[in-house]
Amino acid sequence: MIKILISGIIIIITVTVGACASSSTTDVSQAPTNSAPAPANNGYKNISQEEMAQLMKEGVPLIDVRRPEEYKSGHVPGAKLVPLGTLSAAAANWDKQKKIIVICQTGSRSAGAANYLVNQGFTNVYNFPRGTMGYNGQRTMGMNAK
């Protein structure tokens, strides 16, 4: 019985690790922190906090795709709330050639949002993969993005 249980656990671990290893990933190589280059091959680029700050100084919008209650509990100053469920409607009004940064709580939803935007023809999409949980800076509370 114990051998069967151990064999089952090993199979589950093997399948899980194999599935994770075979998933596609985005290049996370470090770019110069003075300004992030445009993503290659119409894909999105994961960026560091320093790159995000530089892009925001240049006027690139930061789109927070979390739920309103998450956003209200603390967000990166200057981030605009566009919940993931409303992204397609909001993006229909955006210039597909302009740079855009996406962020969420941990990086999962923003990666999905970045993929969606790229698939819709956006060519300058940046993702902050550490999310607000990995953001080391002051946060704004409430619903007002400043």
DSSP state letters, 1-14? -HHHHHHHHHHHHH
Q: Return the ∠ at Cα 121 (arms to 117 and 124), rounded to 5°.
A: 70
Confidence tier at 28 by pLDDT (50, 70, 90): very low
Q: What is the mean pLDDT of the chain?
A: 80
- Is there a contact between 62 and 101 (Cβ–Cβ < 8 Å)? yes
Q: What is the mean pLDDT of residues 67-74?
A: 96
115 contacts: CB under 8 Å, gap ≥ 6: 44
pLDDT tens for each residue of 118-128? 999 999 999 99
- Is there a contact between 109 and 130 (Cβ–Cβ < 8 Å)? no
Report, as residue numbers or ranges, the catalytic residues. 104
Domains and CATH numbers, the chain: 27-134 (3.40.250.10)
Single pTM value for the model: 0.70
Q: What is the pLDDT of residue 143?
A: 81
Q: How many residues does the chain have?
A: 146
